[in-house]
C-alpha cells in the first residue's frame, strides 16, 4: 500500500537514504534504531514536514504531487513534542479536521462531532475545556494521539508515542492504537520507539535504521533478535542481552 523508493534527505551532515521500503495495508510497523539514526527524519519526510527527493507511493498514487491538505489526509504525524500555545483542548483537537475544510477553512458540525466522539473514546471529555498548556505529559500525549486519529489518515506516523510515560499511560496509548486499527481496517501504522516489546503482540514488520540507512528489515519475529540488536546498537559487550 505504501511504497517508498530512493527517499533521500540531506540535513547538515546527516544523510537519510532509503532505497526501497514497502508497508502493507493494515500492518503495524516498528522503526527501531539508535538515537540520530534517522527515525524522526524518516517519519517527518513522509508527513511532508521535511522536503525530500525520491518517490512515495500510496495506493499507487504519488504523494509528492499532492497539496499539503491532501497529504495530511493520507499521513497523520504525531510529534514527540510540540511548542504549545494557550488554547482549549477542543480547539486543538479540531485542527485535525483542517485538511477536510473548504476555502476559508471553517469547521462543519460533523467535524466537531468527530472531535467529541474521539474525545469520549479517549476519556478526554472532561479535558476539552482545559488549557492545553496545563496538561501533564501523559495527558498531552493522549491529546496528540487523539488529534492524529481525528485527522483520519491512511497512514499513521507515530514518533515515540509512549516515550517518557508511566506504565499506565503506555498501556492506554497502546490500547487506543490497537482499537483504531481494528475499527479502521486497512490503515497502516508506522511507529518509532525504543521499547518495541510494548507492541510485540501486534507488530507485523520491523525496520531497523542506523546512520540513515536500513540496517535490517522484515517480519518482526524474524528480524527482532539479539544478534541484530547487537549490530544495530554496536554492542560488543552485552552479557545480559538474550
Distance of closest approach, residue 133 Cβ to other proteins, in angstroms: 9
If the CB atoms of residues 4 and 143 are measured against other proteins, the closer one turns out to be 143
List, in sequence order, every beta strand (DSSP E) within the chain.
Answer: 2-11, 14-23, 28-32, 53-58, 61-62, 75-78, 155-159, 188-192, 205-210, 213-219
If the CB atoms of residues 73 and 213 are measured against other proteins, the closer one turns out to be 73
Residue found by looking up cell 500525549 in the block: 141
How far is 143 from 146, CA to CA, in rounded Å?
5
State the Rg of the chain over Cα.
18
If the CB atoms of residues 116 and 233 are measured against other proteins, the closer one turns out to be 116
Distance of closest approach, residue 104 Cβ to other proteins, in angstroms: 5
Task: Name every residue whose Cβ is closer than 8 Å to that of residue 139 and which is 6 or more positions away in sequence.
Answer: 127
The strands making up 75-78's β-sheet, listed across from edge to edge, are 75-78, 155-159, 188-192, 28-32, 205-210, 213-219
If the CB atoms of residues 52 and 170 are measured against other proteins, the closer one turns out to be 52
If the CB atoms of residues 37 and 79 are measured against other proteins, the closer one turns out to be 79
Distance of closest approach, residue 73 Cβ to other proteins, in angstroms: 8
Distance of closest approach, residue 2 Cβ to other proteins, in angstroms: 16
148 neighbors 114 (Cβ within 8 angstroms): no
Distance of closest approach, residue 56 Cβ to other proteins, in angstroms: 14
Binding site for other proteins (CB under 8 A): 44, 47-49, 67-73, 75-77, 79, 82-88, 91-92, 95-96, 98-99, 101, 104-107, 116, 125, 128-129, 131, 151
Amino acid at each position: 500500500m505504501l511504497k517508498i523508493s530512493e527517499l533521500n534527505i540531506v540535513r547538515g551532515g546527516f544523510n537519510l537514504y532509503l532505497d526501497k521500503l514497502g508497508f502493507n495495508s493494515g500492518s503495524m510497523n516498528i522503526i527501531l534504531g539508535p538515537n540520530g539514526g534517522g527515525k524522526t527524519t524518516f517519519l517527518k519526510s513522509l508527513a511532508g514536514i521535511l522536503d525530500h527527493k525520491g518517490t512515495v507511493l500510496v495506493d499507487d498514487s504519488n504523494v509528492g504531487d499532492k497539496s499539503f491538505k491532501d497529504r495530511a489526509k493520507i499521513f497523520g504525524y504525531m510529534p514527540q513534542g510540540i511548542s504549545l500555545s494557550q488554547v482549549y483542548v477542543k480547539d486543538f483537537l479540531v485542527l485535525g479536521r483542517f485538511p477536510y475544510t473548504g476555502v476559508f477553512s471553517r469547521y462543519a458540525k460533523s467535524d466537531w462531532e468527530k472531535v467529541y466522539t474521539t474525545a469520549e473514546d479517549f476519556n478526554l471529555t472532561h479535558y476539552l475545556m482545559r488549557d492545553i498548556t496545563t496538561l501533564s505529559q501523559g495527558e498531552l500525549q493522549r491529546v496528540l494521539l487523539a488529534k492524529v486519529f481525528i485527522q483520519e489518515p491512511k497512514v499513521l506516523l507515530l514518533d515515540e508515542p509512549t516515550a517518557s510515560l508511566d506504565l499506565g499511560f503506555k498501556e492506554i496509548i497502546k490500547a487506543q492504537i490497537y482499537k483504531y486499527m481494528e475499527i479502521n481496517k486497512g490503515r497502516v501504522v508506522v511507529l518509532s520507539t525504543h521499547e518495541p516489546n510494548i507492541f510485540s503482540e501486534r507488530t507485523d514488520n520491523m525496520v531497523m535504521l542506523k546512520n540513515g540507512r536500513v540496517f535490517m528489515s522484515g517480519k518482526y519475529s524474524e528480524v527482532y533478535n539479539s544478534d541484530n540488536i547487537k549490530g544495530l546498537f554496536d554492542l560488543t559487550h552485552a552479557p545480559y542481552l538474550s
